[in-house]
Amino acid sequence: MSFSNGGFSKSTPTSPPMSSSLASRLLLNSTPRLLPRSLLTSPSPLFSSSSRRPLELLPSASSPLRARVSLSSSVATTMGDAADAAMDAVQRRLMFEDECILVDESDRVVGHESKYNCHLMEKIESENLLHRAFSVFLFNSKYELLLQQRSATKVTFPLVWTNTCCSHPLYRESELIDENALGVRNAAQRKLLDELGIPADDVPVDQFIALGRILYKAPSDGKWGEHELDYLLFIVRDVGVHPNHDEVADIRYVNREQLKELLRKADAGEEGLKLSPWFRLVVDNFLFSWWDHVEKGTLKEAVDMKTIHKLT
């Protein structure tokens, strides 16, 4: 889709066929390793059969990371679901290969799980799966905010408009670093390249400012949804943008008044315009006051990483 005089025109993204696979990862000695499938299908002293949560392995006394393995993946069942047959090949691969970081409501890591299972409303409700996420808000030197429209092939919230980039840190060493939210910032740099073609040099990791965290739950349709502990990352940079149409249908920079007009249209149901629930929560609770800090160059004064805001 693209904007034209306030309206929209459609374009159809295409994606190359790719193979799908699922890897459950175990972090040992601070090095990601693949867990043999046999361990997932036969009894093992590593696991507790009486609890969904895994036993905890401590690689060394000095390691800051604790490795856990979740047994809640139902690979045979989920991959056999007829509804998944129509899933875009790229999105299917990401759903089964990507391992999200499971956390509790205090943002402590408790395990990991496939992106697929983390977004099934059935598992979100029955197992209270909560995963770590991030939302990037990128402003240019004119203090305009870059928005994206999610691709039509996205499994959750397709074709909705949202902030610059929304995704998940993965269960890997570089994205599990808690100090100064470095793991999340590394993930944000990775996904800005994946989704928007923004080179890493354009968005140095040390230029992201983590302003706060929100916890929210939002169903997308009858099957899929979100339950995220979301880090809100702000950055002010002029960047080159080359969207990946497997991920992004359209982009647009907006100033405050243009964003308010988008909000009005979304509320009125005009032009079929929809906004992502996490973006709307940030807009309604924080964005415009934080935008003041963007323009004044005082973003660091707004930082509050001690509070986790539970929003509905």
Contact call for residues 243 and 225 (beta carbons, < 8 A): no
Q: Are residues 232 and 110 in the same domain?
A: no
> Does residue 293 sit within a domain?
yes
Greater model confidence, 288 or 67:
288
Tell me what pLDDT residue 175 has: 98
Judge whether 115 lies within some domain: yes
Confidence (pLDDT) at 83: 52
**Does residue 20 lie within any of the structural domains?**
no
Inform me whether the pLDDT recorded for 118 exceeds 80.
yes
Q: Residue 12 falls within a domain, yes or no?
A: no
| pLDDT surpasses 60 at 211 | yes
Is residue 188 domain-shared with residue 222, that is, in the same domain?
Answer: yes
- Does one domain contain both 50 and 101? yes
Residue 184 has pLDDT above 60, yes or no: yes
Q: Which of 103, 127, 151 lies at the terminal end of a domain, its last residue?
A: 127
Clarify whether residues 233 and 123 are in a common domain.
Answer: no
Q: What is the pLDDT of residue 155?
A: 85
Average pLDDT, the chain: 80
> Is position 107 within any domain?
yes
**Per annotation, catalytic residue among 165, 166, 195, 226:** 166
Domain identity same for 136 and 185: yes
Per the structure, the count of domains in the chain is 2
Same domain, 122 and 142: no
Residue 179 among the catalytic residues: no
For this structure, is 166 an active site residue? yes
Share of the chain above pLDDT 90, in %: 66
pLDDT tier at 84, thresholds 50, 70, 90: low
Find the catalytic residue in 113, 226, 228, 247.
228
Q: Is residue 17 part of a domain?
A: no
Domain hosting residue 111, numbered range = 25-127
What is the average pLDDT across 151-166?
Answer: 94
Same domain, 108 and 210: no
Do 39 and 139 lie in one domain? The reply is no
Q: What is the pLDDT of residues 17-49, one digit of tens each?
A: 444 333 333 333 333 433 333 333 333 332 232
Is the pLDDT reported for residue 210 higher than 80?
yes
